[in-house]
């Protein structure tokens, strides 16, 4: 037997119902806030990702040479393709340009719980001016999506990379050494960060002050200890979020994101139910367009780990609404199959999910099958009923049976089922 590749998955119909439920919820919330969907290729030129993240990133990607000798990679994330698309085709669109995307990404790394070599990412970008309103709008979108998903326990942590960068600059750290130090501080690897800061010429007192900053979390009042433009900016962002009604947000000056292109606000979202690997979303404000040959444009965006959120929801006991068929049609004889197919087509034309016996089963086996696929109603096409221009309608939940004229069948069924509601995702508002 040929097995699926390591780090990939197959999804059952029941699993796909859950995934589509969450995906549709995210798309709906993004559209409500004025974000519009884009789609980019699953593979790109490898250079797109090495320019953004450095040459070492190739070790973590599915990179290969195509038949034309070009270095191509399956996309490991979606921000760089979105920014490439903006530079090549979208620069004349009105701003702010609010975009979202959803799709598969690929990374060659060790598979573990909630992390796969093929995974799905939902993200958004707001391209425009660097201001508190734009940053708050993006954080607010992430918060709205999580709230609508039904996830109960999560925390949005927001910082500003300018707080630490200004401290490093004031301590005399040259710009080239700052990114490596910030990466260690972002991961709270202080045993490695301290020697790097010492080598950069920082005094022990300043080093400990930097460590204290990365451990600063809480309400907006914690910024009183760190006056400056970055703290003032953060206050404005929190004021907008408060006006939007988001309260599950706290200051965390230890959120750095560890990537050199971040320029201001940075934020992460944790779901404690996932344990040590609890991060489900990350983002911030950045500039990337000039790396791809465009003008310098400020953007704020985020990426949500779609699979991670699903895992968190499942651990909290989330159950996606089932999407059973509404009607199952059973002809009692071969001669009545044409009529059964006509009725099936009429019901489907009215957007009523309908299946029909394709296996030529007996009545008993058909009723058992209808129950197994969770059909709500059964239409029995019998000889006697057909001679009267009617069919038998049975409710499987109650066992009730009624005789219904063929011309009244659609209306009768519509009154008994929830058209347009069955199958809709049930995340909390």
Q: What percent of the chain has pLDDT over 70?
A: 96
Query: Each residue of 30-48: pLDDT tens digit?
Result: 999 999 999 999 999 999 9
Q: Is-contact 89 54, C-beta < 8 A?
A: no
Contacts of 294 (CB under 8 A, 6+ apart): 86, 87, 91
pLDDT at 425: 52
Contacts of 283 (CB under 8 A, 6+ apart): 123, 138, 139, 142, 266, 267, 268, 300, 301, 302, 303
Domains of the chain: 13-315 (3.30.930.10), 327-416 (3.40.50.800)
Rounded to whole angstroms, how far apart are CA atoms 305 and 302?
A: 10
Report the pLDDT averaged over residues 293-307. Answer: 92
Rounded to whole angstroms, how far apart are CA atoms 22 and 45?
A: 31
Query: Each residue of 9-18: pLDDT tens digit?
Result: 999 998 998 9
Distances (CA, A) of 376 to 152, 180, 397, 412: 31, 60, 7, 13
Q: Is-contact 142 302, C-beta < 8 A?
A: yes
Token match 């957007």: residue? Answer: 351
pLDDT at 120: 96
Distances (CA, A) of 226 to 220, 223, 231, 234: 11, 5, 7, 11
Q: Is-contact 130 298, C-beta < 8 A?
A: yes
The mean-pLDDT minimum among 80-94, 156-170, 171-185, 412-426 falls in 412-426
Report the pLDDT averaged over residues 281-290. Answer: 91
pLDDT at 323: 75
pLDDT at 429: 36
For residue 280, pLDDT beyond 90: yes
pLDDT at 423: 36
Rounded to whole angstroms, how far apart are CA atoms 264 and 163?
A: 9
19: nearest Cα among 117, 119, 113, 116: 119
Sign of CA dihedral 46, 49, 53, 57: negative
Both structure tokens of 286: 């950045």
In which band, very low, low, confident or very high, does the pLDDT at 421 lie, cut at 50, 70 and 90? Answer: very low
For residue 399, pLDDT beyond 70: yes
Report the pLDDT averaged over residues 251-272. Answer: 85
pLDDT at 420: 42
Rounded to whole angstroms, how far apart are CA atoms 313 and 311?
A: 5
């Amino acid at each position: 037997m040929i097995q699926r590749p390591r780090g990939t998955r197959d999804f059952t119909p029941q699993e796909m119902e859950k995934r589509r439920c969450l995906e549709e919820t995210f798309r709906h919330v993004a559209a409500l806030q004025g974000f519009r969907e884009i789609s980019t290729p699953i593979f790109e030129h490898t250079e797109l990702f090495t320019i953004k993240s450095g040459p070492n990133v190739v070790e973590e990607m599915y990179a290969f040479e195509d038949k034309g000798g070009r270095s191509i990679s399956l996309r490991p994330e979606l921000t760089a393709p979105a920014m490439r698309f903006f530079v090549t085709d979208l620069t004349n669109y009105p701003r702010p340009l609010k975009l979202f995307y959803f799709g598969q990404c690929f990374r060659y790394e060790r598979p573990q719980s909630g992390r796969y070599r093929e995974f799905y990412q939902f993200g958004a970008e707001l391209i425009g001016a660097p201001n508190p309103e734009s940053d708050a709008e993006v954080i607010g979108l992430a918060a709205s999506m999580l709230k609508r998903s039904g996830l109960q326990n999560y925390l949005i942590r927001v910082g500003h990379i300018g707080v630490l960068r200004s401290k490093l600059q004031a301590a005399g750290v040259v710009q080239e050494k700052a990114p490596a130090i910030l990466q260690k501080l972002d991961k709270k690897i202080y045993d490695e960060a301290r020697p790097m800061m010492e080598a950069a010429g920082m005094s022990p007192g300043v080093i400990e002050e930097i460590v204290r900053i990365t451990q600063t979390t809480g309400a907006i009042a914690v910024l009183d200890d760190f006056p400056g433009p970055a703290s003032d900016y953060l206050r404005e962002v929190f004021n907008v979020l408060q006006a939007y009604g988001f309260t599950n947000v706290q200051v965390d000056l230890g959120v750095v994101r560890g990537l050199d292109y971040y320029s201001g606000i940075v934020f992460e979202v944790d779901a404690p139910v996932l344990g040590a690997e609890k991060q489900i979303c990350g983002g911030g404000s950045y500039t990337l367009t000039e790396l791809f040959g465009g003008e310098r444009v400020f953007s704020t965006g985020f990426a949500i780990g779609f699979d991670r959120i699903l895992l968190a929801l499942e651990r909290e006991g989330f159950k996606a609404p089932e999407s059973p068929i509404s009607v199952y049609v059973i002809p009692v004889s071969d001669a009545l199959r044409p009529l059964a197919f006509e009725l099936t087509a009429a019901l489907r034309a009215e957007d009523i999910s309908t299946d029909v016996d394709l296996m030529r089963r007996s009545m008993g086996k058909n009723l058992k099958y209808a129950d197994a696929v969770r059909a709500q109603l059964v239409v029995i096409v019998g000889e006697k009923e057909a001679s009267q221009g009617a069919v038998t309608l049975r409710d499987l939940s109650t066992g009730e049976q009624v005789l219904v004229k063929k011309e009244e069948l659609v209306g009768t069924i519509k009154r008994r089922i929830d058209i347009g509601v069955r199958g809709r995702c049930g995340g909390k508002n």
